[in-house]
Structure formats: structure tokens, C-alpha cells
Amino acid sequence: MNVAAWAYPAFEVVHIVGIALLFGGLLIFELCLLGRAPALPLPALARLTLPLALVGFGLCAATGLAMFSTQPGELLGNAAFRLKLLLIALAGLNAGLFHLRGGSGRADRWGRAQGLLSLGFWLAVIICGRSIAYV
């Protein structure tokens, strides 16, 4: 990444595209899970939105690791970065539990609570990511 002046900004752009795909796909799915569009079948919507969210996560993970490799010591010393990693782990755990419980086929009270948690975790991840430069 230190080879070309444009490399790090290019990775940041791809990281932001990944965030848009991840959070955008989850937002649509979670809003449906919360009953905002009852006419849409949740399993069909999941087949459309969740793969986009996974692609977004993959882009974020790949570009995030590449950017991390340029300054690991500084980032590991940053409280916002460490909180971001914890929140990503909690979001992943929440998603895993959601799918173990039956995923989009289980839009019960607990599933809706997990949807709200998911949105909260990912929004907090985005906030922490932006805060890294200022902490």
C-alpha cells in the first residue's frame, strides 16, 4: 500500500462501498423483520439482501485487513479501533445465533430483538470506524 499514493485512498473507497452493501442489505432485511413491509416474504427478501450484505462484509474485511497492515501498532493502541473489533465480533455472534434459531423463518419477538441488535451493532461499528482518526 505504500507503493503508490493512490492505493490507501482506493482501499478506503472500496471499504466504504463494502459498508454500503453490508449496512444497506441488513437495513432492508431488518426493517422487514421488524414488520415494516409485511407484504414482502421474509425468506425471499433474505435471499436477495443477505448475499449483498455478505459481499459487503467480505469487501470490508479484505480492505480493512489491508489498511490495518500499514499501521497495526497504532491501530491496536486506538480505543475506537478495539471497540470496533469487539462490536464486529458481537454482530457476528448475533447473526450466527439468529441463523441457528431458524433465521428468516423465525420472525418472533427474539428474532426481532436480534434484528434491532444487528442494526445497533453495525451502526456502532460505522461510528467507531469514523472515530478512529479522532481518538
Domain coordinates in residue numbering, the chain:
7-134
8 A C-beta contact, residue 74 and residue 33: no
Classify the C-alpha dihedral 40-41-44-45 as positive or negative: positive
- 37-41, 70-74, 97-101, range with the lowest pLDDT: 37-41
Average pLDDT over residues 41-61: 95
8 A C-beta contact, residue 57 and residue 32: no
Per-residue pLDDT at 38 exceeds 90: no
According to DSSP H, which parts of the chain are helical?
A: 7-33, 42-68, 72-76, 79-100, 109-131
Q: What is the pTM of this model?
A: 0.92
Per-residue pLDDT at 129 exceeds 90: yes
Please state the separation of Cα 27 from the chain's center in Å: 10
Q: What is the pLDDT of residues 53-79, one digit of tens each?
A: 999 999 999 999 999 999 999 999 999
Question: CA-to-CA distance for 13 and 9, rounded, in angstroms?
Answer: 6
